[in-house]
Each structure stands twice: as structure tokens, then as C-alpha cells.
């Protein structure tokens, strides 16, 4: 089996409601990687959920990291986020990943190689245009 997929997958597991260090900026030294359960449910990805709720006149943000059974995974970088709006002023962002153990640790998403090439090309064209003037 491939490292980081299936029963060998290890994810960060925490909830900022009871564990404030679970929030972003997330320091992966504060929580151990935990092996996903092998209970027949096929935990094939890690998830980080960011929940925003409007409570008592202000927005409150909570973070939850764990193993997951379902969720969309990006084809290029192994990570995908989706935003959902709920009732009563609740917003949730689900970020699922399966490209490595502990992939639910940070707020940064992997940028695809295609985007890097595109940005570099635009930069070169910009420099060329400046030098030509």
C-alpha cells in the first residue's frame, strides 16, 4: 500500500474549541500525528475544517483536524478545499488531502507547476517589455 493512503494514513487530530493550538497558525510540534483508525470505514484522507459562526455580535472561528472517509481531493496537488454556507450565519471550509501524512497541518495550499510556469512566463514578458522601451 502507498504511504499516506488507507490504514497507514496519519493525520493531525484536534479541535480548537478545546485545544486552542489547533487553530492557524498551526505548529505541528504541538500535536502528534495519529494513525487513522482501521475500523473498516476506509479513512483515505485527512481533513481540516474551518468553521465560522456569528455569535454574540461577532464572528468566531473554530478549527477541526482529523481523518476522513469522504471528501474531494485535487487531481494535481493532493489537496482540495470547498466552502459551504449553512443556516444561522455559519460558514465552513473543508480541506481534504491525501498526498502525505499530516497534510492537514497548514493553511498553505500547494501551487501547481502549471501556475508557476504561467507566472514565470508573465514575469519574463513584463521584463522584456520594460527593457524594450
Residue pLDDT tens, the chain, 133 long? 334 444 578 999 999 999 999 998 888 888 999 999 888 888 888 999 999 998 888 999 999 999 988 766 665 556 688 888 888 889 999 888 888 888 888 644 344 445 556 666 676 666 666 676 5
Q: Is 116 among the domain residues?
A: no
At 67, give phi and psi (nearest 5°): -80, 155
CATH number at residue 57: 2.10.60.10
87 in any annotated domain: yes
- Is pTM beyond 0.75 here? no
Is residue 95 one of the residues assigned to a domain?
A: yes
**CB-based contact 24:107 (threshold 8 Å):** yes
- Whether 25 is covered by a domain: the verdict is yes
Assess if residue 99 is contained within a domain.
Answer: yes
Distance CA 82, CA 119 (A): 24
Q: Measured on CA atoms in the order 50, 55, 59, 60, is the torsion positive or negative?
A: negative
The answer to the question of residue 124 being in a domain is: no
CA torsion sign for 22, 96, 74, 78 is positive
Which range marks the domain in which residue 48 is found? 6-106
Whether the CB-CB separation of 34 and 7 falls below 8 Å is answered with no
Domain count, the chain: 1
Amino acid at each position: 500500500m502507498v504511504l499516506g493512503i488507507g490504514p497507514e494514513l496519519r493525520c493531525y487530530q484536534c479541535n480548537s474549541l478545546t485545544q486552542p493550538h489547533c487553530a492557524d497558525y498551526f505548529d505541528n510540534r504541538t500535536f502528534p500525528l495519529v494513525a487513522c483508525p482501521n475500523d473498516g470505514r476506509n479513512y483515505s484522507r485527512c481533513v481540516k475544517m474551518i468553521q465560522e459562526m456569528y455569535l454574540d455580535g461577532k464572528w468566531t472561528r473554530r478549527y477541526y483536524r482529523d481523518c476522513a472517509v469522504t471528501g474531494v481531493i485535487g487531481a494535481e496537488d493532493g489537496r482540495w478545499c470547498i466552502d459551504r454556507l449553512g443556516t444561522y450565519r455559519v460558514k465552513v471550509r473543508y480541506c481534504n488531502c491525501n498526498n502525505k501524512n499530516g497534510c492537514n497541518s497548514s493553511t498553505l495550499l500547494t501551487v501547481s507547476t502549471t501556475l508557476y510556469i504561467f507566472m514565470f512566463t508573465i514575469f519574463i514578458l513584463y521584463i522584456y517589455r520594460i527593457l524594450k522601451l
